[in-house]
Amino acid sequence: MPIRMATSVTVRTVTFWYPARHLGITNWRVALAGLFDDELRPVRRMIAAPHAGEARGLLAAPGEGQPTRCAGGPVYLLDLAGTGAQAAEEAGARHDAWSATGRVCGRRPGRVETELLEAGRADYVTYHSQRRVVGDALIIMRTGGWLHPTGSGPQALIDHVRLAVSTLSEAAPDDVLVTVAV
């Protein structure tokens, strides 16, 4: 169930960033296999790196097909740039459709999405390409801190994803990302 925050932001997806040895975990296969339940559902938002096939058991909820979509895993097994590029391409197509028809995927966009669309193609694409990786909130398990938008306006949303992606750039290759639906 989405979380509506006091800032008018609705959180639907959360990305958890675990340090490689979070709580002494040395075998992420076991931890990732038991992570999801009725409360935490995986969201296959990320694309696995092409070399991830041999370590498929370390991916969180991997799907079938190429490229392999997953809910996360160790950073070295994820193609974060490819994930963002695919999201950018999809967002660009949605913005183009909205510009031509006033609709996105056959529906009228909601208030927040409309404001993002009206902010311009570059802002809309930037937001969605970066949100694909960090979700609506980024929880940093090393510190217990979390990053989320300070408001529901386009600039607050864009500032959030930029800060979250910048913060995430400090992740070590063995750190683990997992995206869940709330």
Distances from the Cα of 153 to the Cα of 7, 33, 40, 112, 113, angstroms: 10, 37, 27, 7, 9
According to DSSP, residue 113 is labeled H
Mean pLDDT, residues 112-124: 95
User: What pLDDT digit, counting tens, does each position of 40-50 carry?
Assistant: 899 999 999 99
**pLDDT given for residue 1 in this prediction:** 61
Boundaries of every domain in the chain: 3-181
Q: Is the pLDDT of residue 3 over 80?
A: no
Distance from CA of residue 56 to its chain's centroid?
Answer: 20
Q: Which region among 10-19, 28-37, 75-84, 140-149 has the lowest average model confidence (pLDDT)? A: 28-37
What pTM was estimated for this model as a whole?
A: 0.90
User: What pLDDT digit, counting tens, does each position of 156-182 carry?
Assistant: 999 999 999 999 999 999 999 999 998
* Average pLDDT in the chain: 91
**pLDDT given for residue 103 in this prediction:** 94
User: What pLDDT digit, counting tens, does each position of 48-101 carry?
Assistant: 999 887 788 899 999 988 899 999 999 999 999 999 999 999 999 999 999 999
Q: What is the dihedral angle through the alpha carbons of 109, 115, 120, 121, rounded to the nearest 10 degrees?
A: -30
Mean pLDDT, residues 143-153: 92
How far apart CA 79 and CA 98 sit, in angstroms, is: 29
Mean pLDDT, residues 132-139: 94
**pLDDT given for residue 51 in this prediction:** 87
Q: Is the pLDDT of residue 124 over 80?
A: yes
**pLDDT given for residue 27 in this prediction:** 84
Amino acid identity, residue 108?
Answer: R
**pLDDT given for residue 26 in this prediction:** 84
How far apart CA 157 and CA 126 sit, in angstroms, is: 10
